[in-house]
Amino acid sequence: MDLEKLLDQSTSKVKRRVEQELSRAKEEALKLVEQSYLKSLDHSTSKIRELTESSKERIEGEKARLDVENKRALIDERNYWLDKAYSKLQEALGSYFASKEYEEALIAIIKREITEGVEVVCSPRDVEKVRKAIGGFKNIKIRTSDKIIGGIQLYYPEISMMKDFSIDLFAKQVFETNKEKLAQILFEGE
């Protein structure tokens, strides 16, 4: 055999081994790249999930906070208009206090409920009406209060008892009883 053939065979063998080694190295490199890619993809996916969940939680928290703020604002607005309606009711009662019907009702309560030693609390506007109704009773104190818009309160000091016949109490009771109906009319249009 000649030297050239031997050299060719030898070169050919080395070339095949090198090609095989290169092929194995290439396959191994591809596996490493694929593993690295999958690891990186998994890490990125995990990070994206975390960020998405974190953002979702923040958004839900913000939404809950805004819902609470909105409800507070609606309640405040509702209460404002209900208070305004109550104020209008008190204003409307002004003409009732000047009526004969009111004076007769006030006198009837006083005559029915008054006893010696009682303290009568009334609005400054009603002092003369109360004095007129008390008539011949003695030892009766009359006090005025700007907190009473009409009617009277009777305090019996001997038994530490208060009877409230004030229009304020009556108006508040009627208003509170009908507050939800009024709210429906004002805010739901019924």
* Per-residue model confidence (pLDDT) at position 86: 77
* Per-residue model confidence (pLDDT) at position 71: 86
Q: Which fold has domain 98-188?
A: hypothetical protein PF0899 fold (3.30.2320)
Half-sphere exposure of residue 10: CA atoms within 13 angstroms, side-chain side: 7
Tell me the two tokens of residue 85: 């309606």
pTM of this prediction? 0.53
**DSSP, residue by residue, 156-188:** ETTTTEEEEEEHHHHHHHHHHHHHHHHHHHHHH
Local mean pLDDT, 10-residue blocks, the chain (190 residues): 75 83 85 86 88 88 89 84 79 79 87 86 88 82 87 87 86 82 72
* Per-residue model confidence (pLDDT) at position 146: 87
